[in-house]
Amino acid sequence: MGGTQMAEPPTDGGDQGGTALGSSDGEAIAGFLDQLRAFMSDVIEGDLLPGDLVGEYREVFLGLDDAFALAIAQLQQPGIEDHLRVAGLVHLPRRLKLGVFEKALDVAGRLGNPLRAVRAVLGAANVILGSLLMIPGVEPIKEFKETLEVGIDIADIAAS
């Protein structure tokens, strides 16, 4: 991934949703990143990963602090709404994607993070992260989340 500058999104001539875009879209996505960070930390500290790799997962995860901070800072920049619009992360699409993620988080929390619920949370996060790859800092977060998924799968296969 090269520099940290985002490509300019195409303009659509106005807000198709009929409501003014505010910082709420960027703030909502920044909140998602905070929730994802807390959830991934819980997964690392749980018992779903191969025990011999937990130390490495912790160390790499701690190294993502700068990536999270950069991505969240970018989401608070003026003009971010144009980028989020192109990515399908404003208004109803944003509410749907975040709603699915939050529902998965709720189910995982109520069930004590069982394996299927953790996979649902990470899958819902993937939908949003994939739409955010133009935001500096998001790619290493997404790659770590994918590595977490593979580790969970390895531990699940080894336990069967």
Q: What is the pLDDT along the chain (160 residues), one digit of tens a residue?
A: 334 343 333 333 333 333 233 448 999 999 999 999 999 999 999 999 999 999 999 999 999 999 999 999 999 999 899 999 999 999 999 999 999 999 999 999 888 878 899 999 999 999 999 999 999 999 999 999 999 999 999 999 999 8
Give dist(CA 160, CA 157) in Å, integer. Answer: 5
pLDDT at 20: 32
| pLDDT attached to residue 87 | 92
Q: What is the pLDDT of residue 158?
A: 93
What residue segments make up the domains of the chain, in order of their start?
24-159
pLDDT at 74: 96
The 3-class SS string of the chain reads: CCCCCCCCCCCCCCCCCCCCCCCHHHHHHHHHHHHHHHHHHHHHHCCCCCHHHHHHHHHHHHCCHHHHHHHHHHHCCCCHHHHHHHCCCCHHHHHHHHHHHHHHHHHHHHCCCCHHHHHHHHHHHHHHHHHCCCCCCHHHHHHHHHHHHHHHHHHHHHHC
Residues 6+ apart with CB under 8 A from 90: 17, 21, 25, 81, 84
| Residue whose structure tokens are 């910082």 | 23
**What does the alpha-carbon distance between residue 120 and residue 75 come to, in Å, rounded to a whole number?**
25
CA dihedral 19, 20, 25, 28 (to 10 degrees): -80
Q: What is the pLDDT of residue 133?
A: 95
Closest CA to 113 of 140, 148, 146, 142: 148
pLDDT of residue 114: 86
Q: Which residues contact 138 (CB under 8 A, 6 or more apart)?
A: 67, 71, 129, 132
